[in-house]
Structure 1
Amino acid sequence: MAQDDATQKSNIVHMPYADASRSVRHVFVRGYETVAQIGVWEHEKDTRQRIRLSVDLSVLEDGEHHDDQLVKVVCYNEIVIGIQKILAEGHINLVETLAERIAQMTLEDPRVVTSRVKVEKLEAVEGAQSVGVEIERRQHA
């Protein structure tokens, strides 16, 4: 008999996105809609599909105030530019692969501690608002 998911203990510890006691700032891009060459099915190979992306980052503050200087913060516009570069590289089979590449790109900044990425295909399943995947990755010490 399978156990109910609610009764199983998880070994996953989620870091709060914004946490004053740990000097963590929350930087996010939510609901970014674009098109992508994505999918494993034959009819998805030579077309673009509408997708929606959301990225949530836990970012360590370095103790210094940002002094209203863009260079001292993780810029959400740079996240979007990074996503566009990934999508420009060509066809991706899986939404999981796209999510992993985005998370990896965000974690290249050593200030980013945790990256949560959600990828939704908006037209893949008739009757569904969206289908997709959400992952969370952490900076390796």
Structure 2
Amino acid sequence: MVAALLHPRLADCRRLFLRNYEVYINIGVHEFEKRGEQRVVINVELFVPLAQTTPTEDKLHEVVDYDFMRATIARRVGKGHIHLQETLCDDIAAMMLEHPRVRAVSVSTEKPDVYPDCDAVGVEVFRIKEESA
């Protein structure tokens, strides 16, 4: 996703992030996965224009609050069982882009407990909001 940082529409943006946010959710396509929660690690990067998020009064309302990222993830996770990490990533990305100040988003999810011989399996998606006409 390093190439995303070079996108010309992101040159005037600040990058906010939520790293290694652990949640326990019902996710997976296999029957054994449907019987309980699994640990999923979620990472989110938001790209917001500096012009819209550079505080002049040092007040929270001038920026995108980190709580927005956590609350958005909680809303999606709270909707029930998810079969695929791809679905989870796409849904979280779409919900993040609904924020009027967010221009682009990167979301990754990983399941660290699936295989004993690797750190994790996961998915990452990057989306840029369409330009307004």
TM-superposed CA distance for 1:124, in Å, is 1.4
Matches within 5 A, 1:1-141: 14-16=4-6, 22-62=11-51, 65-66=54-55, 67-141=57-131
Give, as a single letter, the amino acid of the residue that structure 2 aligns with 1:82.
T
Q: In angstroms, what is the RMSD of aligned CA positions?
A: 2.1
Q: Distance in 1 between matches of 2:43 and 2:105?
A: 10
TM-score calculated relative to the size of structure 2: 0.86
Higher helix content, 1 or 2: 2
Q: Distance in 2 between matches of 1:137 and 1:51?
A: 21
TM-superposed CA distance for 1:14, in Å, is 2.0
TM-superposed CA distance for 1:129, in Å, is 1.1
Write out per-residue CA displacement over residues 4-47 of structure 1, whole angstroms, 9 at most, x where no aligned residue.
xxxxxxxxx62449x9x943111100111111110011111121
Q: Give the conservation status (yes or no) of the 8 Å contact 1:61–1:111.
A: no
Matched pairs, number:
127
Secondary structure at 1:99 match in 2: helix
Q: Distance in 2 between matches of 1:48 and 1:63?
A: 38
Gaps of 5+ in 2: none
Gaps of 5+ in 1: 1-12
TM-score calculated relative to the size of structure 1: 0.82
Percent identity of equivalent pairs: 35
- Which of these two proteins has the greater Rg computed from alpha carbons? 1
